[in-house]
Structure formats: structure tokens, C-alpha cells
Structure 1
């Protein structure tokens, strides 16, 4: 059981928080994704392909967060 003063905390690599999500709650996820994209070094995607991938991933993360919070 979690106590209210322990939020936010990290569970399975994702910040669990109460109230409205802030940019700092997603910073860890964004850092991990940036590291993964940097490791590909353009072998798999062009720059526009990477931009599109990042946009889709971020939009889906937000939709998932809204689904969980509602």
C-alpha cells in the first residue's frame, strides 16, 4: 500500500503521480527514448523518420496517460 506523501514514484520505469501530469514526470521516459534513438545513428531512419517516430510515441504516451487518469 502506498502512502500519499510518497508520490511521485517510479513503477516499471514510469513515474506514477497524482494530479495533473507535468513535463518533469515524463523526463525520464524522454531521456530513455533519446538514448535509444541516438544509438541507432541514422542507420534505420532518416531524420524526418525519427521526428515522425518521436511525435507518434509522445502522442500515444499522452493518450495512454489521459486514459489512465480519467
Structure 2
């Protein structure tokens, strides 16, 4: 995660410098992430690992289906 964070800093500054960032939605996402991440971590600790894997698989499948629907 640290490598991903460090490598994304340049991209973030590039997007900000070229005016590609909507600040209000970005601020809402940051605040929501800061509030929801501890809740998600607690829920993840209490849930069965297999259930989390199934949820992740369903989300990946739904994303792939949406991408294909948009392409076609």
C-alpha cells in the first residue's frame, strides 16, 4: 500500500495542476472514507473470511459485467 500511495502522489498533483479535480465531490469522498474506514475494519474483523471473499468476488464480477455492458 505504501508503494501505491507514493506512486499516486505524482498523478494526484498532475490531475490537480491540470484542473481535472472536482473539489466538492473529492472532499466528500475524503470525509466519508475517514469516517467509514474504521467501521469497515471492525466489520471485516468480525466477519468470516469466506463471506468476505464471496463479497469481493461478487463485486469484481459485477464490475466486469458493467464494463462489458458499457463496451457493447
- Tell me which interval the TM-score lies in, with the shorter structure as reference length: 0.3 to 0.5
Instruction: Give the strand-richer structure, 1 or 2.
Output: 1
TM-score, reference length from structure 2: 0.41
Instruction: Give the helix-richer structure, 1 or 2.
Output: 2
The structure showing larger relative contact order (alpha-carbon pairs under 8 Å, at least 6 residues apart) is 1
TM-score, reference length from structure 1: 0.42
**Which has the greater radius of gyration?**
2
